[in-house]
Amino acid sequence: MKNSVPKVIVVGGGFAGLWATRALAKCECEITLIDKQNHHLFQPLLYQVATAGLSAGDIAAPLRHILREQKNVSVRLGKVVGIAPMEKHVTLDDKTELDFDYLLIASGATHAYFGKSEWAPHAPGLKTLDDALNIRRKLLLAFEYAEASTSQVEQDAWLHFAVIGGGPTGVELAGTLAEIARHTLKNEFRTIDPTVAKVRLIEAGPRILSAFSADLSNKATKQLESLGVEVCCGTAVSDITENSYSLGDKTVPAKTVLWAAGVAASPLGKLLDTPTDKAGRVQVENNLSLAKYPFVFVAGDLAGIQFDGKPVPGIAPAAKQMGKHVAAEIQALMVGKKPSAFRYRDFGNLATIGRLSAIVDLRGFKFSGVSAWLFWLAAHIFFLIGFRNQISVFINWTWAYCSYKRHARVIYGASKDKPG
């Protein structure tokens, strides 16, 4: 009897993988959820960890804790290094082979440097908690090294912060960085004046937040500028080194460059014996399965799928919807039902810029400023539900926003980094 229970492997405990797993709670199957990390991450607030407003534990919860009551799941910490869709097994980095009857790959996305991988060490991106803590260390140390510096030129370079990419993450990072320099660190230094720090947001396209209308995008630009961010659109970065970045022929001395420009799908997509697009997203059928292997599914940022003629965006609500759809498709397959197409329900789009400012587009109903920010805050607090400790996060946050203080300004391993 036990052998007849179908085996489901889910790779990735992000929004797509976790929501698929949960949606299979009542299904008679054995699920193995595999992730490289021990935690699910509430990625929409990752920039707050990078900018010391929240602690890592505020936005991450252990996967096995979240799923402890769901008896048909076992959680496995490990890295998938091989997938054999035909033979129906995956291989982990410790050489374990795990068999499956149904497979969901939801391993998300990573940074892409458009072929310039030599930029990566100088311009870290923001996808994991380690990335966030790395960026936090880099930001806080920049002010420390500026304070200790005896050369004006070097001091200016330490106080020049460039954020590459004008999508939501770039906007959040640039806005928060400007607030930190202008408010949080005020009065804390004796040699430098942190409020003169330059924060520049660089976007190759004609405007920031291109997923929004031109009107909202302009409002966001104005809000950023009022925070002290210099917004440079229509300019692509041509080089990044340890001490500078270049726009065209012009080289700008800057010790801190953050990368929020390019996203590439997880490399696991290449193991599926199925075409991928330029960004590495796997070409899936309209029910999110693979054409060659109808029992293998892809969901979340790794899935290349269109709906209503537009690509489904790489955001949390879309990933959750895909995860749930895959769970339904797996159950349909088990009982021999026909596949049904994934339908993306677009609830709208929101982006935050800084304290008390955001832009919201709820399917054409657009607003910005304080009301948009309150809406953004409410939505994020609401979706953190299921995470341990909303009250505490809410208090930390309200406190941080009201006082401009950021409690998580801890540099780990400070002594490991040396100024360049």
Q: Considering beta carbons, is residue 62 or 205 the nearer one to a second copy? A: 62
Torsion angle defined by CA atoms of residues 359, 346, 265 and 173, in that order, rounded to the nearest 10 degrees: 10
Q: Is 141 among the residues that bind a second copy (CB under 8 A)?
A: yes
Residue closer to a second copy (CB basis): 188 or 273: 188
Using CB under 8 A, pick the residue from 20, 46, 58, 284 that binds a second copy. Answer: 58
**Does residue 144 touch a second copy according to CB under 8 A?**
yes
Q: Which amino acid is at 175?
A: G
Contact 326, 341 (CB under 8 A): no
Query: Which lies closer to a second copy via its Cβ, residue 58 or residue 172?
Result: 58
Which range in 21-29, 37-45, 310-318, 346-354 contacts a second copy by CB under 8 A?
Answer: 37-45
Residue with tokens 């520049």: 200
Q: Of 106 and 229, which CB lies nearer to a second copy in the complex structure?
A: 106
* # chain residues binding a second copy, by CB under 8 A: 56
Stretch binding a second copy (CB under 8 A), from 2-10, 162-170, 302-310, 383-391: 383-391
Q: How far is CA 331 from CA 102, 156, 336, in A?
A: 10, 59, 9
Q: What torsion do the CA atoms of 189, 252, 174, 406 make, to the nearest 10 degrees?
A: -20
Asked whether the beta carbons of 296 and 105 are under 8 A apart, the reply is yes
Quick one: tokens of 282?
């796997």
Q: Strand, helix or coil at 393?
A: helix
Single-letter amino acid code for the residue at 225: E
Q: Would you count residue 94 as binding a second copy (CB under 8 A)?
A: yes
151 binds a second copy (CB under 8 A): no
Nearest residue (CB) to a second copy, 58 versus 361: 58
Count of other CB atoms within 10 angstroms of residue 352 = 27
Work out whether 65 is an interface residue with a second copy (CB under 8 A).
yes
Q: Which of 5, 148, 196, 370 binds a second copy (CB under 8 A)?
A: 148
C-beta closer to a second copy: residue 60 or 315: 60
Site stretch for a second copy (CB under 8 A), options 175-183, 324-332, 336-344, 385-393:
385-393
Q: Confirm if 173 and 47 have CB atoms less than 8 A apart.
A: yes
Q: How far is the CB of 411 from a second copy (least distance, A)?
A: 5
By beta-carbon proximity to a second copy, the closer residue of 78 and 262 is: 78
Q: Is 369 in the site for a second copy (CB under 8 A)?
A: no
The answer to whether residue 316 forms part of the interface with a second copy (CB under 8 A) is no
Question: Rounded to whole angstroms, how far apart are CA atoms 28 and 90?
Answer: 21
DSSP-based three-state secondary structure for 345: coil
Q: Which of 5, 86, 211, 414 binds a second copy (CB under 8 A)?
A: 414
Nearest distance from C-beta of residue 402 to a second copy, angstroms: 13
Alpha carbon of 295 to those of 174, 259, 284, 386: distances in Å? 43, 36, 12, 30
* 29 sits near a second copy (criterion: CB under 8 A): no
* Tokens of residue 143, six digits: 């002010």
Binding-site member from 7, 27, 29, 55 for a second copy (CB under 8 A): 55
The only residue of 37, 210, 235, 276 in contact with a second copy, by rule CB under 8 A: 37
Nearest residue to 254 via CA among 140, 156, 164, 175:
156
Min CB(242)–a second copy separation in Å: 17
Q: How many angstroms separate the CA atoms of 376 and 168, rounded?
A: 13
80 belongs to the binding site for a second copy (CB under 8 A)? no
Q: Which residues make Cβ contacts (< 8 Å) with residue 303, sequence separation at least 6?
A: 16, 281, 282, 284, 288, 312, 322
Terminal Cα distance for the chain, rounded: 63
Q: Which residue has the tokens 């040396």?
A: 418
Distance CA(39)–CA(41), nearest Å, equals 6
Any contact of residue 38 with a second copy (CB under 8 A)? Answer: yes
Residue 237, strand partner residues: 247
Give the x/- contact pattern for a second copy in 388-407, rule: CB under 8 A.
Answer: xx-xx--xx--x-----x-x
Q: Which residues are tagged catalytic?
A: 172
List 2, 87, 187, 345, residue binding a second copy (CB under 8 A): 187
**Which residues sit at the interface with a second copy, rule CB under 8 A?**
36-39, 52, 55-58, 60-62, 64-65, 68-69, 73-79, 94, 96, 129-130, 133, 140-141, 144, 147-148, 187-191, 388-389, 391-392, 395-396, 399, 405, 407-415, 419
